[in-house]
Structure 1
């Protein structure tokens, strides 16, 4: 055999060996199981039984009005806190008030009804509540619970002349804001 044939035979043998090593046969057992997984967010939904809690018309100093309302947790997750926010605009239609604010003379009292008893949440002038969140409930779990409240508003009589408030009004917005519970590890 010539040198060329020996080289060709060596190359062919080497290629055959490499192909057998790399592409050799192998065998094993295999099994697979498929799982279906879900990530679904909860719903934070605070409910209230009224569109408007209180409407006071044609009031005079000394008038008081009370109204009841109910908050519900209509969502699927617990609430950590409920905050009460107030915003308003005074409409001055008559005499110049000379810096006297009608909201300083509206006294607001929020009552929480718990097990047949009234618990005073706060007693403040309407002007002290403006744009300041005030916590009214520390926790509100899901499960159909209802929290009953009353709000009592009084136009305070300062025993002086309050004629400059005649025909004035307040456009009042109350917002109840629910905050979600804290995140948990190993949520089931």
Structure 2
């Protein structure tokens, strides 16, 4: 082997030795841990039973109709409050009611005390409900439920039974224009969550 090759091999061996020594200088203990984390959003699931609260025919002024319905929280989060939105359409069978709103003649009596179903907690007409700010309706509902609703809300798996009486008000005047007319009522219950909290 020539001197050049011997020197080259010697230099390479020395460099390898230094790298091993240098590498050993920076050796250290190590340990690794892995965490598995999850963010799962809860659910709001408000249901109304029955889905059709009222369906009556052949009404006349003076008729009253008592109905009950249940609001149930089938989700995993507390429901803080419920807003009621009212909408309806009128079918004027003969076209003779001269733009008179049948909704002004249908009074809604909200009854929340099962022992006193003859004493409305709040009365209003469908026409007023339709034109009312949803926040005002929410405040009325909060007051009617009291601390049970306002402070605790509607917990997951719980329900509240509500009673409502509809009344075709007899105003003592000629209401013949409403004969054969019909009103289709749509109530939308909008559930809102409680405020976020430190978890």
Tell me the distance in 2 between the aligned counterparts of 1:34 and 1:131: 57
CA 1:98 to 1:36, structure 2 compared with 1: closer, same or farther past 3 Å?
Answer: same
Unaligned 5+ runs, structure 1:
1-11
Among 147, 152, 159, the alignment partner of 2:165 is: 152
Cα pair 1:87 1:172 within 8 Å, conserved? yes
- Number of the residue aligned with 1:107: 107
- Number of the residue aligned with 2:145: none
Cα pair 1:45 1:73 within 8 Å, conserved? yes
Q: Report how far residue 100 of structure 1 moved.
A: 1.6
CA 1:109 to 1:33, structure 2 compared with 1: closer, same or farther past 3 Å?
Answer: same
Tell me, yes or no, if structure 1 residue 91 matches structure 2 residue 91.
yes
Q: Give the TM-score normalised by structure 2.
A: 0.76
- Number of the residue aligned with 1:169: 182
CA 1:67 to 1:141, structure 2 compared with 1: closer, same or farther past 3 Å?
Answer: closer
Q: Give the TM-score normalised by structure 1.
A: 0.80
Cα pair 2:80 2:192 within 8 Å, conserved? yes
27-36 vs 38-47, which moves further: 27-36
Cα pair 2:69 2:161 within 8 Å, conserved? yes
Tell me the distance in 2 between the aligned counterparts of 1:127 and 1:31: 71
More strand by share: 1
Cα pair 2:77 2:156 within 8 Å, conserved? no
Cα shift readout 1:11-47 (whole Å, capped 9, x = no counterpart): x9xxx6xx86xx5431211112221110000010012
More helix by share: 2
- Number of the residue aligned with 2:5: none
- Number of the residue aligned with 1:70: 70
Q: Report how far residue 142 of structure 1 moved.
A: 2.4
Unaligned 5+ runs, structure 2:
1-10, 143-149
- 1:130 alignment partner, SS class: helix
Cα pair 1:61 1:157 within 8 Å, conserved? yes
What's the Cα RMSD here? Answer: 2.8
Tell me the distance in 2 between the aligned counterparts of 1:158 and 1:121: 22
Cα pair 1:112 1:147 within 8 Å, conserved? no
Tell me the distance in 1 between the aligned counterparts of 2:23 and 2:68: 83
Cα pair 2:79 2:154 within 8 Å, conserved? yes
Tell me the distance in 1 between the aligned counterparts of 2:35 and 2:120: 52
- Number of the residue aligned with 1:9: none
